């Protein structure tokens, strides 16, 4: 079972039907393939986004990598949302405080996992790919209109996602008609 389902979306794993699991795997395979084919070019564009999540188990590692005392990190560098998530504390469009002047991440090896997953393996994208696979009337390009396609990674997605979703739909239809 794909890891992402328990990490960012669909925490109720026991409620996923076997059929839905197969469809989620189709979506996951598309997203994972992008990461393999178009690895991050470290342009730093996405490091200006809001809502960069640090998972609780990552806090100490990230703070240590940035040489920030844990107390300072917890009280100044991050904040907790009402639903308990830990986010980097910064203005919405400001650069992440770990982004260097050369636009490279200064804690690359220890950055939060969301930074490694973005933009391919995050629920915002994967859930849309899944919905487009199971609903043939859904226009995947409209679903991902939020993506800025001047970024190297999102440009690749927008150039090829329609064909990949179409292939996954065919795969799914063949599976359903075979009763597998």
Q: Which residues bind ligand SF4 (CB under 6 A)?
A: 40-47, 52, 96, 98-99, 105, 107, 111-112, 115, 118-119, 151-153
User: Cβ of residue 152: shortest distance to ligand SF4, in angstroms?
Assistant: 4
* Nearer of residues 4 and 133 to ligand SF4, judged by Cβ: 4
64's CB contacts (< 8 A; 6+ apart) are 110
User: Cβ of residue 52: shortest distance to ligand SF4, in angstroms?
Assistant: 5
Q: Within its chain, how far is the Cα of 119 from the centroid?
A: 5
User: Cβ of residue 90: shortest distance to ligand SF4, in angstroms?
Assistant: 9
* Nearer of residues 133 and 157 to ligand SF4, judged by Cβ: 157
Angle value at C-alpha 25, between 19 and 27, nearest 5 degrees = 110
Determine the longest span between alpha carbons in the chain, in angstroms. 58
Cβ-contact 52, 62 below 8 angstroms: no
User: Cβ of residue 146: shortest distance to ligand SF4, in angstroms?
Assistant: 14
């Amino acid at each position: 079972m794909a890891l992402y389902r328990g990490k960012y979306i669909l925490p109720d794993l026991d409620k996923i039907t076997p059929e839905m699991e197969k469809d989620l795997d189709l979506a996951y395979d598309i997203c994972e393939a992008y990461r393999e084919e178009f690895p991050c070019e470290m342009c730093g564009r996405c490091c200006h986004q809001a809502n960069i999540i640090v998972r609780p188990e990552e806090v100490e590692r990230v703070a240590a990598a940035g040489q920030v005392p844990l107390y300072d990190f917890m009280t100044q560098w991050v904040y907790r949302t009402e639903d308990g998530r830990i986010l980097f504390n910064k203005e919405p469009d400001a650069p992440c405080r770990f982004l260097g002047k050369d636009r490279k991440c200064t804690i690359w090896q220890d950055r939060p996992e969301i930074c490694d997953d973005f933009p391919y393996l995050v629920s915002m994208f994967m859930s849309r790919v899944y919905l487009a696979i199971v609903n043939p009337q859904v226009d995947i390009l409209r679903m991902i209109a939020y993506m800025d396609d001047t970024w190297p990674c999102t440009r690749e997605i927008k150039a090829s996602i329609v064909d990949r979703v179409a292939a996954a739909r065919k795969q799914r239809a063949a599976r359903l008609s075979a009763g597998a």
